[in-house]
Structure 1
């Protein structure tokens, strides 16, 4: 929360459990925050990554690019948990059928 008590526009935090890192992202992931999301994942050494985007309210092409980069870095080891908004953007972009996108 900021000084006015409003929720931050963007936040990303990492939780590690052995070789698994879970990054929880909230708010808007756009041109100004997508790299911060990416770097939060890459800062932690991991063999498996869960990117929890269930609290993301806005997701643009820079965010898509960051997720695609993660899918290339962690082939068969990335799971993305999307919000309704994120799922819709990925559907529109043709990425809804990717194995890293959680069906639920």
Structure 2
């Protein structure tokens, strides 16, 4: 567990509603799980994806790289809902003002 008391075990769950997918990510997104996050968001023919990261407790450079790949994959159809930790990492990396990023 991290300092906030959230579980660090990674999981990715995808739900579909027509051409829209919602991908709920939990735990730590790092070098060992970033590709799984990417695959969970791209496994179907959805044209719009909401990536819900509100339950993510750790987000590293591999996670940022996977996220950038998702913005390329869904140039006009990606929405990212960050946790406080993810928001901080994206702000520090210069990605905090992207149009696909929603307020926490």
Task: Tell me the TM-score normalized by structure 2.
Answer: 0.91
Bigger mean CA offset, 8-17 vs 82-91? 8-17
Q: How many pairs are equivalent?
A: 98
CA distance in 1 between counterparts of 2:52 and 2:66 reads 14
What secondary structure sits across from 2:40 in the alignment? Answer: helix
Runs of at least 5 residues in structure 2 that lack an aligned partner in the other structure: 1-6
C-alpha distance in 1 between matches for 2:35 and 2:45: 17
1:68 aligns with 2:65: no
- Write out the 4+ residue segments of structure 1 that deviate beyond 2 Å after TM superposition: none
Shift of 1:8: 6.1
- Distance (Å, rounded) in 2 between the aligned partners of 1:87 and 1:27: 15
Q: CA deviation at 1:44?
A: 1.6
The unaligned stretches of length 5 or more in structure 1 are: 1-6
Question: 68-77 vs 24-33, which deviates more?
Answer: 68-77
Can you list the C-alpha shifts for 1:5-44, whole angstroms capped at 9, x where unaligned?
A: xx56100010000000000000000000000010011112
* 3-state SS in 2 of match to 1:100: coil
- The alpha-carbon deviation at position 80 of structure 1 amounts to 0.1
Give me the TM-score of the superposition, normalised by structure 1: 0.91
Alignment pair present for 1:10 and 2:10: yes
Provide the secondary structure at the position in 2 that maps to 1:96.
Answer: coil
